[in-house]
């Protein structure tokens, strides 16, 4: 069975490392900036995008721009953040929201 293709967007490489265990079930690609993520979304077909809210110094709300680009292309997206940004995520077109801590607790193999 073909694995779903997922783009994970976060400016902290540590986040990518913590989510590596997802590679067992999904075809994961990574972007560390809003600019790179927007380019990758434009050039590729993904089944989903998981993006951080803050993406470095580029834009304090860069994740929302990533969500809007994914929505334009018909790609489901989920916003992750330390703060509750659910309302903003849904307004931008995200399918959902997750707190980073909950996500890391679930998918970090070192927590088992």
Hey, where are the domains in the chain?
A: 5-111
Query: What does pLDDT average to in each consecutive run of 10 residues of the chain (112 residues)?
Result: 90 84 91 95 97 78 94 96 89 91 62 44
* pLDDT value at residue 18: 82
* pLDDT value at residue 20: 85
Topology of domain 5-111 in CATH is Rossmann fold (3.40.50)
* pLDDT value at residue 59: 62
- Cβ 63 vs Cβ 75: under 8 Å: no
């Amino acid at each position: 069975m073909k694995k779903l293709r997922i783009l994970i967007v976060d400016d902290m490489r540590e986040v990518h490392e913590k989510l590596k265990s997802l590679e067992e079930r999904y075809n994961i690609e990574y972007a560390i900036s809003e600019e790179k993520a927007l380019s990758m979304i434009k050039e590729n077909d993904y089944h989903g995008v998981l993006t951080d809210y803050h993406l470095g110094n580029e834009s304090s709300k860069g994740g929302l721009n990533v969500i809007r680009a994914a929505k334009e292309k018909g790609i489901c997206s989920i916003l992750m953040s330390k703060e509750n940004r659910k309302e903003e995520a849904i307004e931008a077109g995200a399918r959902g929201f997750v707190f980073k801590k909950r996500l890391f607790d679930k998918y970090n193999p070192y927590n088992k």
